[in-house]
């Protein structure tokens, strides 16, 4: 019982340390592979009009990355805002931190 309670408390403390970082904007460019080192050439990415830097959407062989790419293209064509979220960051982090880390989004949706 004590082990289970300790595990639950540890889990809550560990997961509460993370926050969701959001990047929001209308896609300016959507990439299927882009110039750079090997991982970049095999990845999908998007640039939002109000944020500098490419947001990596995942590797071209990943089905979820293909879905993110399709959603980014649809948002670009319809001039809709795209909301890209990253979960595994802490309090002072922002969209630029996620871009610098080349983090893969945990969720995306359009508005």
- Rounded to two decimals, the pTM is 0.76
Identify whether the C-beta of residue 83 lies closer than 8 Å to the C-beta of residue 110. yes
Taken in order of first residue, the domains within the chain and their CATH numbers are 17-110 (2.40.50)
DSSP assignment, residue 21? E
Cα separation, 16 vs 49, whole angstroms: 31
pLDDT bracket for residue 67 (50, 70, 90):
very high
Mean pLDDT, the chain, whole residue set = 83
pLDDT tens digits, one per residue of 31-53: 988 766 666 678 899 999 999 89
Contacting residues for 96 by C-beta, under 8 A, at least 6 apart: 51, 53
Cα separation, 76 vs 63, whole angstroms: 20
């Amino acid at each position: 019982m004590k082990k289970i309670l300790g595990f639950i408390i540890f889990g809550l403390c560990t997961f509460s340390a993370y926050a969701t970082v959001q990047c929001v904007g209308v896609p300016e460019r959507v990439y299927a592979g882009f110039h750079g080192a090997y991982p970049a050439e095999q990845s999908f990415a998007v640039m939002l009009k109000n944020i500098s830097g490419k947001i990596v959407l995942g590797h071209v062989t990943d089905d979820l990355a293909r879905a993110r790419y399709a959603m980014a293209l649809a948002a670009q064509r319809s001039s809709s805002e795209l909301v890209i979220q990253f979960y595994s960051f802490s309090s002072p982090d922002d969209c630029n931190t996620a871009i610098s880390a080349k983090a893969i989004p945990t969720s995306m949706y359009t508005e």
